[in-house]
Structure 1
Amino acid sequence: MKPTFQTLILFVFPFQIFAQSALPRNTPEALNISSKGIQEFLDAVGSESKHEMHSLMILRNGQVAAEGWWAPYGPKTKHTMYSVSKTFTASAIGLAVADGKLKVTDKVISFFPESLPTTVSPHLAELEIKDLLSMTVGHDKSFNQEVFTQEDWVKAFLNLPIADKPGTKFLYNTSASYMLSAIIQKVTGQNLLEYLQPRLLDPLGISGADWEKDLEGIAVGGWGIRVKTEDMAKLGQLFLQKGNWNGKQILPESWIEEASTMKIMQEPDASPERIASNDWVQGYGYQMWRSRYNSYRADGAFGQYILILPELEGVIVITSETSDMQGLLDLVWKHLLPAFDNDPSSEKNLERNLKNLSLSPLKSKSNKKLENTISNNTYIVENQNNIVNEFNIKFLKSSIKLSLKVGEESHEFFLASGNWLLGTTDRKGPNLFHFAQNQLDGLAPFKVAGSYAWKDEKTIEIKLKYYESPHTETILITFEGDHAEIIFKNSFENREDWPVFVGKA
């Protein structure tokens, strides 16, 4: 495998050069968008910020004004959507309503008589599909662990206590989104992707999507779809166009209105100051959030956004990894929103500057003496665990090979110092829903980019960027005589107590 060093790629197209299913392209200035404002946003989310950007796409009047990917992310690469998946799930419900297969006032228990608890509580009996859609089930806390660690998620959900009357209080509820998926499969005999493909995805020219499933083959609904940046933009544009695509009504206009308007306030007693500064208290629709500036959005963990700006005829799509989702949106409002309103001003260096940006790989000088000593040594971990039983580093001419073994599974990664080396692996990377049954099963191989550097004279640091997801895994190995300590960290858990595994050569 040859080392590759890639940079952020921005495309600004004066005319259509993509396949027919692609969105039309234009320049920012032709669409009355300031490229200077775009550059200011890119500067704000640069390497010195706390936000790791993966892609950006800006549309106006149905045309792409600018688009960029921070390599190793690219235009043909799928990206984990997390809760942006919920908007796809709700769209399936809208299509099923249009097909006459259900109504949003249908009782949830009517679909699953075989999974009901011995005693059905009054609140469970009242629960309707629209309560699932609007996150108003009535649960008093999140039950993700209680549902997604079980073998039968439908039964687990229906056996949860419902503290409040359905439809009265907001509580973000990913298990409710799963139930929407289970209802679709119940009434259609198809999983979400199978149902959406001919009705939504094919008309929009979306191909190659996949979706995590539970042990019963039901798409998880509340997370788990992987699509490309432009696919996200197409869904946003469809909503902006009130469900119409190339003259055909894909989703009913009435459904777009229902899904995108406020059904419940997250914090009815929020202060004016909080409402003015927080995009999570503007109201919730059907698996979509209302946002400031009379906008609304599909919204996924760690900064996956489809922002729909009806008053500006605009759509902004972002994939990223950030621990401060409000902070990232604040930068959108500060730099990109005004770019739609101001007289278009050109930034002549925009493309050139972007070509010099990248998600920086690790880089250091070699450590020849220690490298020669440890190269191709296999370290055996004595304590039994499900993370690593053996590890080995072999130093090659311009790269290294990291080998990991756990149980009967062996995995190899090639890494470079100063470059990202691209490869694939069957080893699952970091994921917010790592605890869920069947998590990521059937989706391998996963794309991964690797780099390394010597952190000090005894410790090597390795980064594995799983670039179909938002996340990076960091591996630290410290060598001392014939022993080595290895630590595995992920990029989103803020903890100090990472387990340490000791191997002996």
Structure 2
Amino acid sequence: MNKSFYEKTSPENANINSKRIINFINRLEKEEVDMHSILIMRGNKLICEAYYNPFNSNTLHRMFSVTKSVVSMAIGALAEDGVIDLDASITKYFPEYEPEDGFYPYLIETTIRDMLSMTTPHNGTTFDKRSKNNWTESYFTKKPTHRPGTIFSYDTSASHVMAALVEKLTGLSLLDYLRTKGLSKVGFSNESYCISDGCGVSQGGSGMM
């Protein structure tokens, strides 16, 4: 985070009792919570900033599933620009992964909106995260378990496919595309990046650093 974007002030100037923050920090230490850093804000005002060794203000952390929200922002930007249709089948955008005997019917029914809401036809992630095989392709070749839009299931591979879609349509990495949409203007770290899968696609489900 670009902290220079925010005004630094005392808790009291933001109508917060500093003793409350001190009590909070003391409790973390008493309960031996393994902290990396603490940043507390109110509005655009940074009222507390602390780091625990060996971490500092320049340490990049893997944000894991926060990445999914960033992917959704990118998909929203593409939809707003009319590049994609949220109610179109996801198979429309990845014809290269169609098996010889065609896509599974439940996959053909699956829309981008289903992917975003995790009501996909898969009951979980379709790829092995330790594998260097094509994670995106696995989404279209693994047999679905149910009709899309009917069951919520935490499907990390759906977010990964969404990241692959962003990068396919824009020719940019996920974060670089969002930077063109103003991500840097809100203080987002210029050093941030996404870990890639074995095929060079940003890990849209968990890879943001």
TM over 0.5, shorter chain = yes
Structure 2 match to 1:101: 83
Q: Could you tell me which of 150, 153, 156 is aligned with 1:171?
A: 153
The answer to whether the 8 A contact 1:142-1:173 is kept is yes
Q: How many residues align structurally? A: 206
**2:95 corresponds to 1:113:** yes
Shift of 1:105: 1.4
Which ranges of structure 2 fall in alignment gaps of 5 or more residues? none
Structure 1's 198 and 140: CA in aligned 2 closer, same or farther, altered over 3 A? closer
Shift of 1:114: 1.1
Shift of 1:103: 2.4
Matched residue SS, 2:160 = helix
Structure 2 match to 1:62: 44
**Cα distance in structure 2, aligned partners of 1:21 and 1:96:** 30
Q: Could you tell me which of 212, 222, 240 is aligned with 2:205?
A: 222
**2:15 corresponds to 1:45:** no
**2:15 corresponds to 1:35:** no
Q: Percent identity?
A: 33
Structure 1's 20 and 155: CA in aligned 2 closer, same or farther, altered over 3 A? closer
Structure 2 match to 1:193: 175
Mark the structure with the bigger radius of gyration. Answer: 1
Which ranges of structure 1 fall in alignment gaps of 5 or more residues? 1-18, 227-505
The answer to whether the 8 A contact 1:177-1:222 is kept is yes
The answer to whether the 8 A contact 2:93-2:165 is kept is yes
The answer to whether the 8 A contact 1:82-1:225 is kept is yes
The answer to whether the 8 A contact 1:191-1:217 is kept is no
Shift of 1:102: 1.0
**Cα distance in structure 1, aligned partners of 2:126 and 2:50:** 37
Shift of 1:193: 2.2
**Cα distance in structure 2, aligned partners of 1:105 and 1:184:** 16
After TM superposition, the runs of 4+ consecutive aligned structure 1 residues lying more than 3 A away are 141-144
Structure 2 match to 1:143: 126
Structure 2 match to 1:81: 63
**Cα distance in structure 1, aligned partners of 2:3 and 2:16:** 25
Q: How does 1:1-16 map to 2 (within 5 A)?
A: none
Structure 2 match to 1:237: none
Task: Give the aligned residue type for 1:134.
Answer: S
Matched residue SS, 2:181 = helix
**Cα distance in structure 1, aligned partners of 2:31 and 2:40:** 23
**Cα distance in structure 2, aligned partners of 1:73 and 1:20:** 16
Structure 1 match to 2:109: 126
Bigger share in helix: 2
**Cα distance in structure 2, aligned partners of 1:165 and 1:60:** 44
Shift of 1:21: 4.7
Structure 1 match to 2:8: 25
Bigger share in strand: 1
Structure 2 match to 1:348: none
**Cα distance in structure 2, aligned partners of 1:21 and 1:67:** 13
**Cα distance in structure 2, aligned partners of 1:110 and 1:91:** 21
**Cα distance in structure 2, aligned partners of 1:74 and 1:42:** 17
Matched residue SS, 2:65 = helix
- Scaled by the length of structure 1, the TM-score of the pair is 0.39
